Amino acid sequence: MSAQSNMAPIIIKKKKVSGGDGHHGGAWKVAYADFVTAMMAFFLLMWLLNATTEKQRKGLADYFSPSIPLSRVSGGGNGAFQGDSMFTEDIQPQSGTGATDMNPMDAQQAQGETGVSDSQKAEEDSKLRAIEEQLQGRGGESMVSIEMARHIITRISDEGLIIELFETETAKLFEDGTAEPTPLFRDLVRMVSRVSATVANEVAVSGHIQSQPVVIAQNPVWGVSHQRADAARTLLESGGMKANRIQRVTGYADRKLAAQNPMSPRNNRVEIILLREQ
């Protein structure tokens, strides 16, 4: 009995752990996320106000204003707001009854400032591509030999079909430093004249030349480039092209290079452009 009474009593402590209060909870995370979102929206708004003009901001306000369902200028759409946006007055001016070439209505398609509809443009593109195929040797009755095709590059642009005739290190189009055409260039230009006879598009001719290796007082690049373009005009007319089709003859000297090296023979070229119909 004395031994048992001398032993220390055993005490068991139970620690109660509670969560969800103070900084251990998740409510502050939701509040912080809302704060960050609000700050991001604020900075986006400030950037938008700084990146737009007063006219665009007014258009934006009118667009979202419930009291102004339609803007003064129609953008050409067929929805509730007729396609209007904050940029309407800058890029979609009213044309005719409101339809524009950017967003035409189904019943009334605009023809834009040039008066050329999409169907007319597609028809013209088809004719230009047919000529392009003949010049690249892909036509069924191509008049272009393999040797001539190496000096021809064609591309269709907003201006029209650009036919680029260029020389290489082994095959010259003109005698060095002059506007005297070689037999190769004569054949190329006359072939272009025959192929382009299938259309009535007006023509522009431009001459380009490589840069001189040294700076000289009387640089001949301007005169020579124009003389080469004029020589191409003469060959086009002798090949059967009507003189009234040629609208301009221009020399660009060495200002529009085709190769990175300004003295590369690739820069010696003549561009014949079949202009789009107005």
Angle at 209 between CA 208 and CA 212, to 5 degrees: 150
Q: Give pLDDT, residue 235.
A: 94
> What's the rounded mean pLDDT across residues 175-203?
91
Look up the CATH number of domain 118-275: 3.30.1330.60
Give the other-Cβ count within 10 Å of 274's Cβ.
Answer: 27
Q: For residue 249, which of 194, 186, 199, 202 has the smallest C-alpha distance?
A: 202
Q: Give pLDDT, residue 144.
A: 66
Report pTM: 0.55
The residue ranges of every structural domain in the chain are 26-91, 118-275
pLDDT at 67 over 70: no
pLDDT in tens, 198-242: 888 999 999 999 988 777 667 888 999 999 999 999 999 999 999
Instruction: Out of 9-13, 20-24, 232-236, 245-249, pick the least confident.
Output: 20-24
